[in-house]
Structure 1
Amino acid sequence: MIALMVVVFYFLLIRPQRKRQQEQARMQNSLAPGTSIMTTTGLFATVVAIDADDVILEIAPGVETRWVKAAIGRVLTPVDDVEDDDVKNVGTVDDNVAGTVEPHGDDQDSTTKKS
């Protein structure tokens, strides 16, 4: 019974974790200058140069920082441009919502008490 639990533990926990670690190491070793990436902390950048264990990232035009390869969370793939017909009202704000507040029946604010 204990041997069966060890086998199940191996296939459910240890093997998938090892596979994820190998994929992460493969991705970090395949980085090249010009690649868009996201770090494990959520910073978006572009790879400028690669040293042995370090990567130099450009986070803004002219701003370069040095990171360890282990901090690279994933490589970003470019997204195809979406046609304008597929996107409707993205980035627009309804005029009724932006900046005006309609009273709810009485002219007094119900959250403030007046003495």
Structure 2
Amino acid sequence: MFVTPAYAQAAGGAGAGIAQFLPIILIFGIVYLLMIRPQQKRVKEHKAMVEALRRGDMVVTQGGLIGKVSKVKEDDEIEVELAENVKVRVVKATVAQVLSKTEPAKD
């Protein structure tokens, strides 16, 4: 006989349910475009840079050490010469920047 306000509001239909989730979907889309996608691009570029390391490249590590790559090892390590007769082993992933690349050897 009497219709309570709760029943009257529930009669909105299925279109109202989708409209409630639209702002959340838009926020996720914006976060993906502005944050997640650029970060994935940077990770991909860093991985390509690390894989392209070779002997003679001048590199900067994340710790701030600047040196020349003297040996590239297979197990994700490189040997960096910091000064004359001063060599350190560095994990490839900790290379932050390549300052100068060496030219490939010509046969």
Give your verdict on TM over 0.5: yes
In the alignment, which of 64, 77, 82 is matched to residue 54 of structure 1?
77
Q: TM-score, structure 2 length as denominator?
A: 0.70
Residue 27 in structure 1 maps to residue 60 in structure 2:
no
Percent identity at matched positions?
A: 36
Q: Give the RMSD, CA atoms, in angstroms.
A: 1.1
In the alignment, which of 30, 41, 44 is matched to residue 8 of structure 1?
30
From the two aligned structures, give the one with the greater helix fraction.
Answer: 2
Cα displacement (A) at 1:71: 1.0
Gaps of 5+ in 2: 1-22, 102-107
Cα displacement (A) at 1:35: 0.4
After TM superposition, where is structure 1 displaced by more than 4 Å over at least 4 residues in a row? none
What is the number of equivalent residue pairs in this alignment? 78
1:68-100 Cα shifts (integer Å, max 9, x gaps): 00110000038xxxxxxxxxxxxxxxxxxxxxx
1:13-34 Cα shifts (integer Å, max 9, x gaps): 1000010001011000000100
Q: TM-score, structure 1 length as denominator?
A: 0.65
Gaps of 5+ in 1: 79-115
Query: Take 1:22 and 1:56, find their aligned partners in 2: how far apart are those partners?
Result: 23
1:44-74 Cα shifts (integer Å, max 9, x gaps): 0000111120000000011111010011000
